[in-house]
A and B are shown apart, each in its own frame.
Chain A
Amino acid sequence: MNALPWTQQLILVPILLPLLAGALLIPVNEARHNLKFAVNLGCNLVLLLSALILLGLSDQELWPGHLGVYLAANWMAPFGIALVADRLAGLLLLLTATLSLAALVFSSQGWSRIGVHFHSLFLFLLMGINGAFLTNDLFNLFVFFEVMLAASYGLVLHGYNTTRIRAGMQYIAINLVASLLFLIGIALIYASTGTLNMADLGPRIAALSAADLPLLQIGAAILALAFLTKGAMWPLGFWLPTTYAAASPPVAALLVLMTKVGIYALIRIWSLAFAAGPAAGFGLDALFWGGIATLVFGTLGILAAQEPGRMAGYAAIISSGTLMAVFGHGDPQLLSAGFYYLLGSTLATAAFLLLVGLTERIRSPGAALLALTMEAFAIDEKPEEPVGVGIPAALAFLGLAFAASALVITGLPPLSGFIAKFSLFHALLNGEAGISLRDWTLMILILCSGLAGIIALMRFGVRTFWASGAVQPPRLHPTEAGPVTLLLGLCVAMTVLAGPLLAYLERTTRDLGQAGSYVEQVLSTPAVPSPPRGEAP
């Protein structure tokens, strides 16, 4: 009996498990939210475990080329859909599982109960994200993007109020148009190369005639537009701050991850399709300057933002812009520092968004309005009477957690944000071709965005924790403090384990640079031979 080893079957788990669990939860009555929560939690723990195992497996010598390939429906590669787990996919699966676990636990007390089908939508969103990380087929990627987006539409609208529905209308309309662009891009790529398999794409593009090349390039550019809309490149990312500010905190924490899915897809396709041949490095310059423009936009936006939700949105835009510029720059060492930055900034922005939900409890209802007018009219608030003796623990927790997330987002020492920026600068300053104008622009903008982040977050912190005049410390449930601690604890762990992590990320980037072995590995994976007819199963 020629069965597939369990290690390869495991690649299917991050997609299949949330799909089945989410579907099973739909008919369950909303009143049994403890049951729903338990199923979702169990599912998330299994996903975390499988992501850890996949990460470990792809880093060992088990699979040739560190590439686990699962052939869906047992069709050989360019014809069927292949799912591929490599180091990068494993890493992002782990990030997804960690973030979703935190968001889920955070939502258990209140947020998951304000509307219907929260847990099913949550699981479908996970299925879409995990699928987008694993698939090796362009059209399948589109399907997983749509699953992810459809679930996110529902989640953004979760807890239906006027703000959310206004933000949701724009979010959905923009993403529907982006999906149409996605389809046009796929159709053009198929028309010019005759394949949709990402591994098959590279060799075919290298063999394209000069007459067919423009068609492919137009297709690839339109496809990139769709990804960059999700990754919020300027001027395609105006939807992002409004949506983040409107969504409920656990959902907003997951949305942070979704912007990274667009960038992941871009990196994956570009490093396979445009690795060699006449079109090598197509569009990377545009991506670099687009990333720079995004950085400028995010920097100005975070200074102008008054609501914490919008600040987090602009922080996510800054992080997207940095990643685009880093990938567009094309230096592999820079890219591995970029991945480190991605991990830290995603975790910290998500933690910040969760914190925002908690800090709103200590702000009086009029505080937001006051904050808006404070700048314009310089209203001097009356100092409040000092309250109680010492600092209540809940308030201290909020303050410390806020400070830690702000340190990571802005890249100040001693946490992981600093190491990320340090290694980015290190790679930029030690480039082979010396330090060019591009390098200087990127470095100056990264520093400026950090400074703007410090100013904006300090202003928010001072207003919330020092000048808010909170009379009573907020009540924090352990399920709310726990996830924030988990996310920030991971940032601390990333700082402590920066050496091994950066070494792993360098191996990841090296894999990305070896498109040839990826192609060979995916295309040569044999199908499982079917048993001869008549044999008892």
Chain B
Amino acid sequence: MELVIAIAIGLLFGSGIWLILRPRTFQVIIGLMLMSYAVNLFIFVMGRLAIDKAPLTLAPGAPNPGDYADPLSQALVLTAIVIGFATTALYLVIMIGARGLTGTDHVDGEESEE
């Protein structure tokens, strides 16, 4: 399971890196989104992978925290998703603004010579 997830994260992040090095703003934003998915998965996995572990709840008696899934990485990933979503939306707005002002979707705001 670890291997599959690691390969998936690597694939997402690698594609993201390739895309943000491309000259078109649309490719850059898709690349940023792929990278943020990879990072979100990564944070989640850092709470350790486990099957059939219950979420941490207030059960009667003193529960053994080792029996439950790590709640903190889940909380972190939620926050990271929200923040990533907001900043990506902001970038989208600027992308559209740049397209309108410069008349091109090149990241430099002008077409290269060749």
B30 within 8 A of A: no
CB within 8 A of B73: which of A150, A172, A187? A187
CB within 8 A of A191: which of B36, B46, B80, B84? B46
Docked-complex contact B32 and A176, CB < 8 angstroms: yes
Give the dominant DSSP class at B's interface. helix
User: How many Å lie between the Cα of A160 and that of B96 in the bound state?
Assistant: 13
A143-B79, A166-B98, A172-B94 given; 4 more Cβ-contact pairs under 8 Å: A172-B87, A173-B32, A179-B83, A180-B39
Closest CB in chain A relative to B24 CB, distance in Å: 12
Docked-complex contact A183 and B39, CB < 8 angstroms: yes
User: How many Å lie between the Cα of A172 and that of B92 in the bound state?
Assistant: 11
Contacts A165-B109, A173-B20 given; indicate if A180 touches B86 (C-beta within 8 A): no
User: How many residues of chain B have a CB within 8 Å of chain A?
Assistant: 33
What are 25 contact pairs spanning A and B, CB under 8 A?
A: A146-B87, A150-B86, A153-B94, A157-B94, A160-B97, A165-B94, A165-B109, A166-B98, A166-B109, A172-B87, A172-B91, A172-B94, A176-B32, A176-B36, A183-B42, A183-B80, A184-B39, A184-B42, A186-B76, A187-B42, A187-B43, A187-B76, A190-B46, A191-B46, A191-B47
A-B interface, 10 closest residue pairs, ranked by CB to CB distance from nearest: A191-B46, A166-B109, A187-B46, A187-B43, A180-B39, A165-B98, A183-B39, A146-B83, A162-B101, A180-B35
User: How many Å lie between the Cα of A180 and that of B34 in the bound state?
Assistant: 11
User: How many Å lie between the Cα of A48 and that of B87 in the bound state?
Assistant: 30
Which chain A residues border B84 with CB–CB below 8 Å? 179
Docked-complex contact A190 and B107, CB < 8 angstroms: no
A289 within 8 A of B: no
Docked-complex contact B39 and A170, CB < 8 angstroms: no
Give the dominant DSSP class at A's interface. helix
Q: Closest residue to A175 on the B side, CB-wise?
A: B87
A450 within 8 A of B: no
Which chain A residues border B79 with CB–CB below 8 Å? 139, 143
Docked-complex contact A168 and B32, CB < 8 angstroms: no
B40-56 residues at the A interface, CB under 8 angstroms: 42-43, 46-48
Docked-complex contact A172 and B90, CB < 8 angstroms: yes
Docked-complex contact A176 and B101, CB < 8 angstroms: no
User: How many Å lie between the Cα of A184 and that of B84 in the bound state?
Assistant: 13
User: How many Å lie between the Cα of A176 and that of B42 in the bound state?
Assistant: 17
User: How many Å lie between the Cα of A179 and that of B86 in the bound state?
Assistant: 13
Which chain A residues border B109 with CB–CB below 8 Å? 162, 165-166, 169
**Chain A contacts to B: CB under 8 angstroms:** 139, 143, 146, 149-150, 153, 157, 160-162, 165-166, 168-170, 172-173, 176-177, 179-180, 183-184, 186-188, 190-191, 196
User: How many Å lie between the Cα of A201 and that of B11 in the bound state?
Assistant: 31
Which chain B residues border A170 with CB–CB below 8 Å? 107
Contacts A169-B25, A183-B39, A184-B39 given; indicate if A176 touches B98 (C-beta within 8 A): no
Docked-complex contact B102 and A150, CB < 8 angstroms: no
Closest CB in chain B relative to A47 CB, distance in Å: 25
Docked-complex contact B90 and A177, CB < 8 angstroms: no
Which chain B residues border A168 with CB–CB below 8 Å? 94
User: How many Å lie between the Cα of A191 and that of B45 in the bound state?
Assistant: 9
Q: Closest residue to A190 on the B side, CB-wise?
A: B46
CB within 8 A of B32: which of A161, A177, A183, A190? A177
Which chain A residues border B80 with CB–CB below 8 Å? 183
B49-83 residues at the A interface, CB under 8 angstroms: 72-73, 76, 79-80, 83
B111 within 8 A of A: no
Closest CB in chain B relative to A270 CB, distance in Å: 22
Closest CB in chain A relative to B3 CB, distance in Å: 17
Docked-complex contact B73 and A169, CB < 8 angstroms: no
Docked-complex contact B35 and A169, CB < 8 angstroms: no
Closest CB in chain A relative to B97 CB, distance in Å: 6
CB within 8 A of B101: which of A143, A149, A165, A184? A165
Closest CB in chain B relative to A186 CB, distance in Å: 7
Which chain B residues border A180 with CB–CB below 8 Å? 35-36, 39
